[in-house]
Amino acid sequence: MDNPLDTAVTAASATEPEIRSREPSQARDPAGLVARFEAGQPLTMDSGAALAPFQVAYQTAGTLNAARTNAVLICHALTGDQHFAHPHPVTGKPGWWTTLVGPGKPIDTDRYFVVCSNVIGSCMGSTGPASIDPATGSAYGLDFPLVTIRDMVRAQAMLLDHLGIADLFLCIGGSMGGMQVLQWASLYPERVFAAMPIATGARHSAQNIAFHEVGRQAIMADPAWADGRYLEAGTRPSKGLGVARMGAHITYLSEPALHRKFGRRFQGGSAPTFSFNADFQIESYLRHQGLSFVERFDANAYLYLTRAMDYFDLAADHGGVLANAFKGTKTRFCVISFTSDWLFPTADSRAIVHALNAASAPVAFVEVESDKGHDAFLLDEPTLFSAARGFIDAAARARGL
């Protein structure tokens, strides 16, 4: 989740992506904290698999109060990770949500104990396809069971049990993180006091599944993918993963933002080179996004996590009626969308709001005016911050924090 609009456009990178064969060290030996669950504590997954042993990598900020009532769970997005407030161990970039989280920020680490865990199936330290399968001694690869959003949430719940946190003051996240927030509120309503799903939907649309499929096919079309056994083969499908990232990255932005930032400007000079070099700034930018992504992300994990989002359909899990997912809930909700988000358009958020209304849940909803597209939730958006601050402060008063 590179910040798309603040990332400098780097010099034209017509060079081939470097093929990296090093082991995915963060997948097995992550920075930060790790909770290990042994053979007697399997993760029961929707696929029917029982994953054991497994581990959940996580980071925290702030201090849990004596009554254990001030815990906040941040759920990260597709290619996000647990390093919400800490420098990224691979890229060295600051935590990905320091705009919203920190001392004096809407999620105030002076007041709340904030937890963020790497989702199951990812590659930043929680068990996923790059982890070692104890049955074979080599990486799971495609032998890893398919993961769902609910599996991610179950693993997070086990982490909270491990930390002695009975219930959350706040569960918050954007995009795939927002799906987890909705799943949390539906699966464990008594454990969620307040929920903030941002730029998300209660199901993945056909168009979004289509984009994900293009990304997956790009990875699998890369010979270096080696039917998913690239770690043993000593290769990495960097080209395929890079193309997948380039395509996906377009969906995180918006046409006006691309136009404002890049327009039709040329990268080096003012005329086309009559070649397939990255003539345009937007090409250079996308290539940079693809290249930097493969440095930090595992291709198989990308397959698994995109699949988890595709499978998400909260209404389908409740007889086709989304309101039934929230029946009798006491959780207070704040739903936020962005005007220029065409990946999870405001209509998706409104569908959530209408279902919560039908379930008589207390719900607030704001559509934030922004031209920055889907990734606006990661960026400096004052309206997002003021809405979050208002909602979170009021929830804290209601909880006596």
And the tokens for 35?
Answer: 């909770």
Tell me whether residue 283 or residue 341 sits nearer to another protein (CB atom): 341
Closest approach, Cβ 186 to another protein, in A, equals 18
Closest approach, Cβ 131 to another protein, in A, equals 41
371 touching another protein, by CB under 8 A: no
314 touching another protein, by CB under 8 A: no
Are 169 and 307 within 8 A, CB to CB?
Answer: no
DSSP character for 364? E
Tell me whether residue 68 or residue 327 sits nearer to another protein (CB atom): 327
Among 379, 394, 399, 401, binds another protein (CB under 8 A): 394
Tokens 């006006």 correspond to 256
User: From residue 213, how far is each of 210, 230, 247, 255, 284 by CA, in Å?
Assistant: 5, 20, 11, 22, 24
Return the range that interacts with another protein (CB under 8 A); candidates 47-55, 105-113, 121-129, 348-356.
Answer: 348-356
Are 115 and 72 within 8 A, CB to CB?
Answer: yes
User: From residue 13, how far is each of 16, 21, 251, 290 by CA, in Å?
Assistant: 8, 21, 22, 11
Spell out the alpha helix ranges (H) of 122-254: 149-163, 176-187, 206-220, 230-233, 238-252
DSSP character for 205? -
Task: State the amino acid at position 396 in one-letter form.
Answer: A
Beta strand spans in 282-400 (E)? 332-338, 363-368
Question: Residues, the chain, total?
Answer: 401
Among 285, 304, 365, 377, binds another protein (CB under 8 A): 365
Tell me whether residue 97 or residue 391 sits nearer to another protein (CB atom): 391
398 touching another protein, by CB under 8 A: yes
252 touching another protein, by CB under 8 A: no
Tell me whether residue 318 or residue 350 sits nearer to another protein (CB atom): 350
Site residues for another protein, 130-189, by CB under 8 A, read none
318 touching another protein, by CB under 8 A: no
Return the range that interacts with another protein (CB under 8 A); candidates 6-14, 159-167, 279-287, 384-392.
Answer: 384-392
334 touching another protein, by CB under 8 A: yes
Q: Which three-class secondary structure state does DSSP give residue 224?
A: helix
Among 164, 328, 397, 400, binds another protein (CB under 8 A): 397
User: Residue 369 and residue 38: Cα distance in Å, rounded?
Assistant: 47
Return the range that interacts with another protein (CB under 8 A); candidates 84-92, 252-260, 261-269, 390-398.
Answer: 390-398
Are 86 and 93 within 8 A, CB to CB?
Answer: no
The set of catalytic residues is: 175, 341, 374
Closest approach, Cβ 372 to another protein, in A, equals 16
User: Residue 236 and residue 230: Cα distance in Å, rounded?
Assistant: 6
Closest approach, Cβ 398 to another protein, in A, equals 7
Please tell me the count of residues contacting another protein according to CB under 8 A.
29
264 touching another protein, by CB under 8 A: no
353 touching another protein, by CB under 8 A: yes
User: Residue 355 and residue 317: Cα distance in Å, rounded?
Assistant: 14
Are 168 and 72 within 8 A, CB to CB?
Answer: yes
Closest approach, Cβ 16 to another protein, in A, equals 47
And the tokens for 218?
Answer: 């790009």
327 touching another protein, by CB under 8 A: no
Give the orientation angle of helix 176-187 with respect to helix 299-311, to 10 degrees: 50
366 touching another protein, by CB under 8 A: yes
Tell me whether residue 231 or residue 368 sits nearer to another protein (CB atom): 368
**List of residues contacting another protein (CB under 8 A):** 332-335, 350, 353-354, 357-358, 360, 362-369, 383, 386-387, 389-391, 393-395, 397-398
